[in-house]
Amino acid sequence: MLPCQRKTRSQSKMRRSHNAIKPVHTVRCPNCNSPKLPHAACARCGYVRPGLKIKISEEE
């Protein structure tokens, strides 16, 4: 079946407005001050929260 009336360009763009790519939110690591994702371990130093640190192997 076909729609009874065609959607206008503005209606189509308004419908797709939530499909836009959103920027990635980053926070500063309190230990080494490098950017990291919130609620994730730091890629540089392995800091997660006070008292918890993940061991990161150094690649050379």
Task: Please report, for the chain, the start and end positions of each structural domain, with discontinuous segments joined by +.
Answer: 23-60
- Predicted pLDDT at 7: 85
Residues 9-59: pLDDT tens digits?
999 889 888 888 989 999 999 989 999 999 999 988 888 888 777 777 766
Residues in contact with 30: Cβ distance below 8 Å, sequence separation at least 6, in sequence order: 47
pLDDT at residue 60 is higher than 70: no
- Predicted pLDDT at 55: 78
- Predicted pLDDT at 34: 94
